Amino acid sequence: MNSPVTFLWPQFLWLLLALPLLVILYVWLLRRKKKMALRYASLSIVREAMGAGQTFRRHIPPLLFLLAMAAMLLAASRPFAVITLPSQQETIILAMDVSGSMRATDVQPNRLVASQNAAKAFLAELPRSVRVGIVAFAGTASVVQPATLSREDLVAAIDKFQLQRATAIGNAIVVSLAELFPGAGIDLASLTYGRNRSSGIAIDQAPKEPKKEFTPVAPGSYTSAAIILLTDGQRTTGVDSLEAAKMAADRGVRIYTVGVGTVDGETIGFEGWSMRVKLDEETLKAIAAKTQAEYFYAGTAADLKKVYQTLSSRLTVEKKETEISGLLALGAALLALMSASLSLLWFNRIL
């Protein structure tokens, strides 16, 4: 649990001032009881009847009851704290670049092989309860493995990657969203050909049934899924990357971006042509920021593996502000029960 703790109803904290009054009342009752006892017995008899151990034990049940009262008053103030909880994310889409630029060897043995190896290591560390789908993209994007729990099928899909021309990062994001929300009418063709570009939802010229109106949600608020985009970030075709990122943000889906390669890059040749390929960190950082996620740099194969290990950790637990009144109320009940039990056991009465 991390501080600070905030309270929804802080006015109830004033009731904690009553606790010192209870302590004063308890001390006054003890002294009054002692004076009453001295009227009927000598001081020596009282001291013999109440040994040091017995005197100490008689204060334990009231102390536990006082702590129970404090916990109940704190619970009544409805405290919130940032705590680490198991993540509710159940589906992850790996959107992996298979464009020609991924043959660059600035990440050994090359960007594609390094990303394949790191992705398979990432899958091995994920809990078996997390479903994973794979989207491969170059000049276009497609789902090469629908979301599944089978790690074997996922590894087989990753091993079948073939390099292609062009890089359509925005297309990969749209296809990933369509896989996450199969009934939402997200259509890549509608964006490609300019129909309803703002929402990313296909609307026919003469629809037979009215479409449900799409209402954007807060970025990062959808905690049941996430997208991990692995690319060098240099878009050459397809839907605008930031426009696609806005679609994800409007649906609350986070896009964790992983930059593969080096900022300086290198010149590669492919089917008779050559080009300079380098990492476009600015775009990848903007995509992550727009969706309330994070950008990770992977300049070497070792860095890439570490990035996926970090993502695995962050996607299986999350920190969130949670009301802890229930925990305090449970603690108060246990303390009160212990107080009553010890009082009955030692003195045959409750307090």
pLDDT recorded at residue 304: 72
Tens digit of each residue's pLDDT, the chain (351 residues): 445 788 888 888 888 888 888 888 888 877 777 676 655 555 555 555 555 555 677 788 888 988 998 999 899 888 888 776 666 568 999 999 998 888 888 888 888 998 998 899 889 888 888 899 999 999 999 999 999 999 999 999 999 999 888 899 999 999 999 999 988 888 887 776 654 444 444 434 444 445 557 789 999 888 888 999 999 878 889 999 999 999 999 999 999 999 887 776 666 655 565 666 678 889 999 999 999 999 998 877 777 778 777 777 777 666 667 788 888 899 989 998 998 888 888 877 776
Strand 79-86 relative to strand 2-7: parallel, antiparallel, unpaired? Answer: antiparallel
Is 240 found in the same domain as 153?
yes
Is 198 found in the same domain as 171?
yes
Is 166 found in the same domain as 273?
yes
H or E stretch covering 44: helix 43-49
pTM: 0.64
Is 312 a member of any domain? no
Rounded-to-integer distance, Cα 77 and Cα 81, Å: 13
Is 72 a member of any domain? yes
Is 159 found in the same domain as 141?
yes
Is 157 found in the same domain as 14?
no
pLDDT recorded at residue 15: 86
Rounded-to-integer distance, Cα 155 and Cα 331, Å: 47
Is 192 a member of any domain? yes
pLDDT recorded at residue 303: 79
Is 331 found in the same domain as 272?
no
Domain count, the chain: 2
pLDDT recorded at residue 208: 45
Give the three-class secondary structure for 319.
Answer: strand
Is 338 found in the same domain as 269?
no
Strand partners, 143: 135
pLDDT recorded at residue 218: 93
pLDDT recorded at residue 217: 93
CB 111 within 8 A of CB 243: no
pLDDT recorded at residue 46: 52
Strand partners, 73: none
Is 316 a member of any domain? no
Is 67 a member of any domain? yes
Is 231 found in the same domain as 102?
yes
Tokens representing 123 are: 């899958």
pLDDT recorded at residue 81: 83
Is 32 found in the same domain as 135?
no
Rounded-to-integer distance, Cα 294 and Cα 288, Å: 5
pLDDT recorded at residue 103: 84
Domain membership of residue 72 as a residue range: 2-83+323-347
pLDDT recorded at residue 55: 66
Is 9 found in the same domain as 108?
no
| Rounded alpha-carbon distances, angstroms, from residue 146 to 169, 176, 305 | 19, 10, 23
CB 239 within 8 A of CB 191: yes
Is 49 found in the same domain as 101?
no
pLDDT recorded at residue 134: 97
Is 126 found in the same domain as 198?
yes
| φ/ψ bin of 130: left (φ > 0), alpha (ψ from -120 to 50), beta (otherwise) | beta
